[in-house]
Amino acid sequence: MSKIVDVTFELKKYKYFEPFRITNSTRVESNNIEVKIVLDNGSIGMGESSPSYRVNGEKVPALLALQDTVKEMISGYDVRNYARIFNIMDGLSRTAPSLKAAVQYATLDALSVSIGIPVYQILGGVKDKIETDKTIGIDTLEKMVEKARRTFDEGFKILKVKVGENLKEDIEKMLAISEAVPDAEYIIDANQGYTPKESIRFAHCMYEKGINMVLFEQPVMWNDFDGLKLVRYNSSFPIAADESAKTKYDVYELIRNDCVDFVNIKLMKSGISDALSIVELAKTTNTGLMIGCMGESSIGINQSVHFAAGIGAFAYHDLDSHMMLKEKFHGKFDQKVDVLMPSS
């Protein structure tokens, strides 16, 4: 037997080592919800929700209040039929996507414990390891240069740099960073901070200066699909949607309107079920894929490590939030600098 008999939510607070600043937002603490699913055979599955009000409009108290409702919705279901539980949880796609992700992952984790096969192998086991970038938040030019140098020297070959608050300063910062760390590859994320014209100017300047930019992420507002397309058609770099791409329906619209080269999937926006659909949509249309995170601890990053390795479809992995939090590691994966390896 492997039927769900209990579902519990627990609030977990994690402090960042230092304030993490992006366009229009600074995080000092991550308030996450640990989801525990108990089966009648005693197996326990764990998942984590790291809600984002900025991206998804989620608030922790509203999610915690759903505990009994979710328990009622999925109790009695057998996790071997996990897609049935996924379908039920799809009802939360618009209102509580990060909670949907945690419950869907906890379902897979409970199945994994029950049958003794790691989640990444249940999902296909395409890769045994993946490489992650590391993020440099917005700071003074000197501090960003110093942090980029140190992070690259630690062994992270891809640096994700946050920009979007001031075009002129951002250009100066990127020139200084890439001069100090010329061998890194750069994913540059503006978090919706630029207008389409500013984005085009920024990309043009990066191209002229020979910056090794591999992705230009979410340059414009999430709802400005035309702007995203304009930037895409007028810049040499691949354009990735993050805040614009939450559910599979968003990604369908982005792709059919020619707005993106890449999609940044985050389980916290899509859950496992929509993420699976987005992967197939992207493969079918030759759209590039990366996977990212919100403020997950290692238990939440664990979900994305198993998903990304299992599916094996991501060109870039941005799974570094656990490294920014003060926590006791509790994921089922090993980390060797930028290499993440799922385990059981």
Q: Catalytic positions, please?
A: 162, 266
Q: Estimate to the nearest angstrom the gap between the alpha carbon of 109 and the chain centroid.
A: 19
**Residue 237 and residue 217: Cα distance in Å, rounded?**
10
In whole angstroms, the minimum distance from the beta carbon of 287 to Mn ion comes to 16
DSSP per-residue string spanning 95-145: T-HHHHHHHHHHHHHHHHHHHT--HHHHTT---S-EE--EEE-S--HHHHH
* Position among 189, 274, 296, 338 found at the interface with Mn ion (CB under 5 A): 189
How far apart are CB 245 and Mn ion at their closest, in Å? 10
Cβ-based nearer residue to Mn ion, 119 or 245: 245
Q: How many residues bind Mn ion (CB under 5 A)?
A: 3
Does 318 bind Mn ion (CB under 5 A)? Our answer is: no
Q: State in angstroms the smallest separation of the CB of 192 from Mn ion.
A: 9
Of 8 and 25, nearer to Mn ion (C-beta) is 25
Strands (E), the chain: 4-22, 25-39, 44-49, 130-131, 134-136, 158-162, 185-189, 213-217, 239-241, 262-265, 288-291, 316-317, 333-336, 339-342
Task: Evaluate the CA torsion angle 46, 50, 56, 60 in order and state its sign.
Answer: positive
Q: Are 31 and 62 in contact (CB under 8 A)?
A: no
Stretch that binds Mn ion, among 96-104, 213-221, 229-237, 255-263 (CB under 5 A): 213-221
Does 133 engage in binding with Mn ion (CB under 5 A)?
no
Span from 45-53, 81-89, 214-222, 247-255 in contact with Mn ion (CB under 5 A)? 214-222
Of 99-107, 211-219, 269-277, 320-328, the segment contacting Mn ion by CB under 5 A is 211-219
Q: Which of 242, 274, 296, 320 binds Mn ion (CB under 5 A)?
A: 242
* C-alpha 45, offset from chain centre: 21
CB of 218 to Mn ion, least distance (A): 5
**CB of residue 240 to Mn ion, shortest distance in Å:** 8
320 binds Mn ion, rule: CB under 5 A: no
What angle in degrees, to the nearest 10, is found between the helix axes of 248-256 and 267-284?
Answer: 40
Query: Under the rule (CB under 5 A), what is the footprint of Mn ion?
Result: 189, 217, 242
